[in-house]
Amino acid sequence: MTIPRIIGAGLVVIGAGIGIGKIGGSAMDAIARQPDATAKIQTAMLIAAALIEGIGFAALFAVSE
Amino acid sequence: MYLCTKFQASKIMTIINMLFSGKNYRLIIAILIASIPVFGFANPADSVKVHVSAPHSETHQATGNAHDSHEPKDEQSQIRAYIDHHVLDSHDFNLFSDSKTGKHYGFPLPIILWDNGLHVFSSSKFEHGDAVAESNGNYYKLGHDEKIYKTDAAGTLTGDAHHPTNAKPLDFSITKSVLTLMGVSLLMFLLFSSLAKSYVKNGGISAGFGRIFEPLVIYIRDEIAIPNIGEKHYKKYMSYLLTIFFFVWFLNIFGLTPLGINVTGNIAITFGLAIITFLITNLTAKKSYWGHIFWMPGVPLPMKIILAPIELLGVFIKPFSLMIRLYANIIAGHVVLMSLIALIFIFKSWFGGTLSFLLSFAISTIEILVALLQAYIFTMLSALYFGSAVEEHHHDEAHH
């Protein structure tokens, strides 16, 4: 049972990493293009990252239980 | 927020410039490198070995209880048991223990049980799980999972050691988490009531220690509440948003102190917080909120039928994700930090000590940021949900 769990945890982390990475990268691009909108972009970025993180943690707990 | 971040960024840049221009930075690097062996050799390998491998069970067996056949033997499982134990709530306030002498330094907390009558006694009766506590003719014992079980006079726990099948009395004890909750509530009450009073006394200007929180209060009003809830309705939610922000933030910060408390990393606490957000959202919701859940306007009829159950599920998923996010973030931070500190006992050399010091220092710094960020996210998402509950839609043109 442990090895499928480890693989599952790895998959969860890869998925969440890709998701948050894309958000961060896009936010960087957006801030570079519109430095005046930094505050709004950061807020939106944090919310989106938190939502993905929540799902990632939920999946990690499902894997570790 | 932009002004705020700009200000902080410029401040940080000046500090960095101060540090990294000229000789200061070379001096700091030199001091760091010079101090590495000091951290490494502070615990010579021999003394560490003795300290760690001193069998915990010896002192326990001396007290005459035969429950320690499950006590972990090797270091790795000892460390794992210690971390597992740390993330749980506990019935006494244990600051640190000496595994060599089996002594625990800390203070006991009151135990309040309801078991066909009220039982109140001090947790020192349990002797950290070694002894059976007697109260009005009933016998109780502390299990390995920090739960109280009803036993016979000898204190036998039936079934698996980590999940005994004994009866459990209703536990209303003032545990470590409850004590911290009370302390933080009192601290917040004193801080913010004195801040509020100082506005009246000084004619609109804050005074006293609480004034350092004024920018945060204004930030929550101007950047979280008003944009998400709207000018019209934000006022009635402000008290809750401010409370939840400072409560979660203070508890997160207290969790990072060496007191070893883990309150927001306890799923019961975050469940309670999420339930309050859930209740406020749904009890203050306007007609259009329920309309968007059960009969989504502006979409064809088959879609309305498909969307209704999904949206209804969303009502419960939102607070659920709030609960899991805070809990998982904080508990993950604690486990990672303690694992890094445990590297000292795994490597048992100057290398492990240095590595552990540097890594745990870095992660601690990140954890301070996470403590604030999680409080911010919780407040922000709560405000977002409140905003969706009171939003007023104009469907004449918008959805077609």
Q: Is residue A1 part of a domain?
A: no
Token digits for B88?
Answer: 């749980």
Q: Is residue A40 part of a domain?
A: yes
pLDDT for res B47: 39
What's the number of domains chain A is made of?
Answer: 1
A58 and B321: CB-CB below 8 Å? Answer: yes
pLDDT for res B52: 40
**A60 CB near a chain B CB, below 8 Å?**
yes
B321 and A54: CB-CB below 8 Å? Answer: yes
User: Residues A6-57: pLDDT tens digits?
Assistant: 888 889 889 999 999 999 999 999 999 999 999 889 888 988 888 888 788 8
Is residue B330 packed enough to be buried (19+ CB in 10 Å), middle (13-18) or exposed (0-12)? buried
pLDDT for res B42: 43
pLDDT for res B67: 42
The residues, ordered by sequence, that sit 6+ positions from B8 with a Cβ below 8 Å of its Cβ are none
Collapsing DSSP states into helix, strand and coil, what is residue A1? coil
Amino acid at B132: V
A36 and B2: CB-CB below 8 Å? Answer: yes
Q: Is residue A26 part of a domain?
A: yes
Q: Which domain holds residue A27?
A: 10-64
pLDDT for res B259: 82
pLDDT for res A65: 65
Beta strand pairing call for B133-135 and B118-122: unpaired
Look-up: residue for tokens 């939502």? A51
Q: Is residue A5 part of a domain?
A: no
Distance CA B245, CA B253 (A): 12
For residue B52, which of B71, B29, B25, B78 has the smallest C-alpha distance? Answer: B78
pLDDT for res B34: 63
Closest CA–CA distance from residue A28 to any residue of chain B (Å): 15
pLDDT along chain B (400 residues), means of 10: 54 57 64 59 41 40 41 74 82 78 80 82 78 78 79 75 77 88 92 87 78 89 90 91 94 88 89 94 89 85 89 90 89 88 86 90 91 93 91 57
Distance CA B89, CA B108 (A): 14
Q: Is residue A25 part of a domain?
A: yes
Q: Is residue A18 part of a domain?
A: yes
Say which CATH number the domain at A15 has.
1.20.20.10
pLDDT for res B206: 78
E strand residue ranges, B24-147: 92-98, 103-108, 110-114, 118-122, 133-135, 138-142
Q: Is residue A4 part of a domain?
A: no
pLDDT for res B184: 93
For residue B380, which residues of chain A lie inside 8 Å, CB to CB? Answer: 43, 46-47
